[in-house]
Amino acid sequence: MYAHARDNLPVGKVGTAIDIAKGNLFVIDNSFMTGAIIDINGGVLVAGFLPPPRT
């Protein structure tokens, strides 16, 4: 599953805690940004890759 996810993401890698932290720092450091939803997901939505639903 890990390799499948990595290979199908536009960024070519699975995110790490550092990737999430960088996204958070971007929002915190931007004093002009308000009310935005920032998807830090490596392009999962663009690639159409979503894990199968849990049964």
- Across the chain, which has 55 residues, the per-10-residue mean pLDDT values are 73 87 91 86 70 70
Backbone angles phi, psi at 27, to 5 degrees: -70, -45
CA dist., res. 11 & res. 42, Å (int): 6
Q: What gap in Å lies between CA 16 and CA 39, rounded to an integer? A: 14
Residue 29: what pLDDT?
92
